[in-house]
Amino acid sequence: MRIILTLLRKDFANFIRDKAAVSLTFLVPVALIFIFGQVFGLNRKDTGPTGVRLAVVNQSDNPAARKLVEALRAEKSFRVVTSFVNADNSERPLAEDDLRPMIRNRELRFALVIPPDVIATSGFGLHLKILSDPRNEIETQTVNGLLQKAIFSNVPQLLGQSLQLSAQRQLGRAGLEQFNGAMAAAVTKAFGGNLEETKRAMASGDFGLETVAPGAQPGGPAPDSAGFLSRIVQIDNEQVVGKDVKSPEATRVVGGWAMMFLMFALSHSAAAFFEEKKAGLFQRLLSAPVHRAHILWSRFLYGVLLGLVQLTALFFAGRLLYGIDVLGNFGNLVVICTAAAAACTAFGMLLAAISPTAAAANGLATFLVLTMSATGGAWFPVSFMPEFMQRIAKFTLVYWSMEGFAQVLWAQQSLLQILPTVGVLLGIAAGVMAVAVWRFSRGPIFD
Amino acid sequence: MLKLDHLTKRYGSLTALDDVSLNIAPGEFFGLLGPNGAGKSTLMSLVAGLRSPDAGGITLDGRAVSAADPSTRASLGLVPQSIALYEDLSAEQNLRIFGELYGLRGADLRARIDETLEAVQLTDRRRDQVKTFSGGMQRRLNLVAALLHRPKLLLCDEPTVGVDPQSRNAIFDFLEARVREGLTVIYSTHYMEEATRLCSRIGIIDHGRIHALGSLDELLAGLPFSDEISFPATPVTAGLAARLVAHGKVTTGDGTHHFHPAAGFKTSAFYALAESQQLSSRLFVTARPTLEAVFLHLTGRTLRE
């Protein structure tokens, strides 16, 4: 037993001295729990995503349509956008024609159009239109579910109006008034209430149908009557981006996988710096006519090329196994892969520059790879996170790399269209590399 | 050829080199002898241009050596203390890389690689990964990788650490042959046997200072005694050791007394004293002084301390 206790003490002593192991054991899980908690609203009373941008164009002058817009505004999962900001910063109401370019330009992923004929003029039922860029399946399914919940929770009054219109077509105006009067008289006689008020309510389509859908309040669960309502509410879904993608499911997820693998590979290359230092190779290299800059830039280029080859191989594996269309926009894919690899490599070099040991570099790399993947959108949609987390996501190279992959593979965008994303990635690479070089010049790695 | 002028290097509050001046002539096999932490590696790294001194300067063939200017480095080769090789690559690949860093290309590089591998008997293993080599083979390759570009000055920073005697001798033979061809070598070691065998001149360094400089004979001549008499440190010999203090220097280590007689104190007088203590002459070993004795005399401690 004494031997076991001695060895146990040894294990704990080693563990406590290994800062990387300590941080991996405690810091990483806590950070990930925090991020997951933010995404799934674990610290809120209500759960689910927050802040999904949803454009709403209300072309109907029906009061019930306005009520639907207000209901969507009250839904915490959405950030409803109803106005368009002009170049001179003036605003005007959004029009349907604005939506498609905005979706193509990645300003929006989802839009709801409430058309002038929201209440069907021929036949019975409602008519709505949803425009989307379903580049992320989880996000798309969730948003569709939330939209349906909001719509079905608020359509009963519109449905009543549809019934009234339908009846008017059948009975004529006078006949409908007579019918409403008779129905109102029967209702008030049976259940009480004011005859005139009941008659007015029926004429406005308010049959109290919301009571058919218990719990149908904004933010509440989808009503049980959704199945019935979905048969009489016609929703036209228009996929604005990615319609022609050959293998949509695989294309959606391949970017996230690629980034994870790339970052892990490059974190390994950070540790390689320390192996070379330990072996005395930097001494040998620097005793030759070699500058530190030669070593750093050759390592940077190595990382970029390795990353490019790895990403390309991964995408081709995706083509081979799942039919992802890699060749359709191959030139731009190479451009975005190069920019992503440059940003990742710079990050790996920064890790080597700021870490005192290989173990510390590995620990820090694991922590950053996991947290950047989580916040950057490699695991779940960024739009599910609170706004402050969405802002943080934009500082991660994972976010921009995934944006780039989606632009190229999903949206099939041109070089001109992907240039801003490429610029951001190269900017990250340049900025991070500058800090890394500065740290290398002062750190102990070359001593 | 190489001139070190009042070199000082500090790491925080630690002075690793303290006002060191030295001149190395062409073709010299210069030994830097000192214990671990004496400042040998710091001196090597300054000469190799890996670090900058806090004070003083270095010139190689009249040109300043600077960490910021790698132009003088083509004239020197560094054999680091560790096996500074890419162990997943073959011997040939390693040599090609290091040769190219010095501007060697094509047929010239290939010829030099062949010649170098042949010189250290690694031709038949040239395509094997370095990690499959024995320690001695790795050390040999580590050495010749610094010679491929034919430098004028070779800096060997304890190049035989952990090497078996056979490989060590092979390295010594190789280096001696190169020096005969005109190479200048600075060889740092804490093995006095290596310095004794190889070096035409030796600098004894400790706590960042050069305590003595000269050929082996010159260093030994500087000792105030000619012989060293050793005997077991036991209660029986304690009386003799106490009486000898009046006639020279007595140091004790590893269960042995070392007596270095003062000038004029003859060996016969020693034995007369021992006999008066009724000690057998078989207890005593008389030896010529070594570099160890020089180091001990100069620093008051052994090379292993």
Cβ–Cβ contact A278 with B under 8 A? yes
Q: Are B85 and A283 inside 8 Å of each other by CB?
A: no
Q: Are A284 and B98 inside 8 Å of each other by CB?
A: yes
Cβ–Cβ contact A293 with B under 8 A? no
3-state secondary structure of B204: strand
- Using one digit for the tens of pLDDT, what is the confidence trace for A362-395? 888 888 888 888 888 887 777 777 778 888 888 8
Domains of chain B, earliest start first: 2-215 (3.40.50.300), 224-288 (3.30.70)
Q: Are A290 and B71 inside 8 Å of each other by CB?
A: no
Cβ–Cβ contact B9 with A under 8 A? no
Q: What Cα–Cα distance (Å) separates residue A330 from each residue in A220, A262, A317, A409?
A: 45, 19, 14, 9
Cβ–Cβ contact B31 with A under 8 A? no
| Mean predicted lDDT score pLDDT of chain B | 87
Cβ–Cβ contact B102 with A under 8 A? yes
Q: Do the strands A83-85 and A91-93 form a parallel or antiparallel pair, or are they unpaired?
A: antiparallel
Cβ–Cβ contact A286 with B under 8 A? yes
Closest CA to B207 of B123, B299, B121, B127: B299
- Using one digit for the tens of pLDDT, what is the confidence trace for B178-235? 899 999 999 998 888 888 888 889 998 888 888 888 888 888 877 766 778 889 999 9
Q: What is the distance between the terminal CA atoms of chain B, rounded to a whole angstrom?
A: 33
Q: Are B70 and A288 inside 8 Å of each other by CB?
A: yes
Q: What Cα–Cα distance (Å) separates residue A274 from each residue in A241, A306, A346, A349, B90?
A: 46, 19, 16, 11, 21
Cβ–Cβ contact A447 with B under 8 A? yes
Question: How close A316 gets to chain B, by Cα (Å)?
Answer: 29
Question: How close B11 gets to chain A, by Cα (Å)?
Answer: 11
The residue of chain A nearest to residue B68, with distances taken between CA atoms, is A291
Sequence-ordered list of residues with C-beta below 8 angstroms from that of A39, at least 6 positions apart, any chain:
A49, A380, A384, A385, A389
The residue of chain A nearest to residue B103, with distances taken between CA atoms, is A289
Residue A446: count of CB within 10 angstroms of its CB? 18
Sequence-ordered list of residues with C-beta below 8 angstroms from that of B191, at least 6 positions apart, any chain:
B160
Note the pLDDT of residue A215. 41
Question: How close A360 gets to chain B, by Cα (Å)?
Answer: 23
Q: In which residue ranges of chain A is pLDDT below 50?
A: 211-224
Note the pLDDT of residue B117. 93
Q: Are A284 and B102 inside 8 Å of each other by CB?
A: no
Q: Which of B97, B101, B102 to mutate to test the interface with A (most CBs of A within 10 A)?
A: B101
Residue A260: count of CB within 10 angstroms of its CB? 17
Question: How close B138 gets to chain A, by Cα (Å)?
Answer: 12
Note the pLDDT of residue A262. 84
In chain A, residues with a C-beta closer than 8 Å to the C-beta of B48 are 283, 286-287
pLDDT by residue, tens only, chain B of 305 residues? 899 899 999 988 888 899 989 999 999 999 998 888 888 889 998 998 888 889 988 998 888 888 777 778 888 999 998 899 999 999 999 999 999 999 999 999 999 999 999 988 899 999 999 999 988 899 999 999 999 999 999 999 888 887 888 888 888 888 898 899 999 999 998 888 888 888 889 998 888 888 888 888 888 877 766 778 889 999 999 999 999 999 888 888 888 998 888 877 887 888 888 888 888 888 898 887 777 777 777 777 666 55
Question: How close B77 gets to chain A, by Cα (Å)?
Answer: 7
Q: Are A284 and B78 inside 8 Å of each other by CB?
A: yes
In chain A, residues with a C-beta closer than 8 Å to the C-beta of B49 are 286-287
pLDDT-above-90 percentage for chain A: 12
**Euclidean distance between CA atoms B300 and B293, whole angstroms:** 10
Q: Are B102 and A286 inside 8 Å of each other by CB?
A: no
**Euclidean distance between CA atoms A326 and A123, whole angstroms:** 46
Note the pLDDT of residue A40. 66
| Maximum alpha-carbon separation in chain B | 77
Closest CA to A62 of A167, A158, A196, A176: A158
Q: Are B49 and A291 inside 8 Å of each other by CB?
A: no
Q: Are B70 and A289 inside 8 Å of each other by CB?
A: yes
pTM of the model: 0.74
**Euclidean distance between CA atoms A208 and B300, whole angstroms:** 105
Q: Which residues partner with A111 through β-bridges?
A: A55, A131
Note the pLDDT of residue A217. 44
Cβ–Cβ contact A291 with B under 8 A? yes
* Four-point Cα dihedral A202, A208, A209, A211, nearest 10: -170
Q: Are B102 and A289 inside 8 Å of each other by CB?
A: yes
User: Domain boundaries in chain A?
Assistant: 52-239, 244-442
Q: Are B51 and A288 inside 8 Å of each other by CB?
A: no
- Using one digit for the tens of pLDDT, what is the confidence trace for A279-301? 889 889 988 888 888 888 898 99
3-state secondary structure of B81: coil
- Using one digit for the tens of pLDDT, what is the confidence trace for B155-178? 998 888 878 888 888 888 888 988
The residue of chain B nearest to residue A287, with distances taken between CA atoms, is B48
Nearest to A280 among B49, B80, B101 (CB): B80
Cβ–Cβ contact A275 with B under 8 A? no
Note the pLDDT of residue A50. 64
DSSP string, B136-205: HHHHHHHHHTTTTT--SEEEEESTTTT--HHHHHHHHHHHHHHHHTT-EEEEEES-HHHHHHH-SEEEEE
In chain B, residues with a C-beta closer than 8 Å to the C-beta of A281 are 84-86
Q: Are B73 and A279 inside 8 Å of each other by CB?
A: no
Q: How many Cβ contacts (< 8 angstroms) between chains A and B?
A: 60
Q: Are A283 and B145 inside 8 Å of each other by CB?
A: no
**Euclidean distance between CA atoms A281 and A287, whole angstroms:** 10
Nearest to A287 among B48, B82, B83 (CB): B48
pLDDT-above-90 percentage for chain B: 33
3-state secondary structure of B61: coil
Cβ–Cβ contact B273 with A under 8 A? no
Residue B68: count of CB within 10 angstroms of its CB? 7
Q: Do the strands B256-261 and B248-253 form a parallel or antiparallel pair, or are they unpaired?
A: antiparallel
DSSP B148: T
Segment holding A203, helix H or strand E: helix A195-203
3-state secondary structure of A429: helix
Q: What Cα–Cα distance (Å) separates residue A319 from each residue in A134, A135, A256, B115?
A: 20, 18, 16, 50
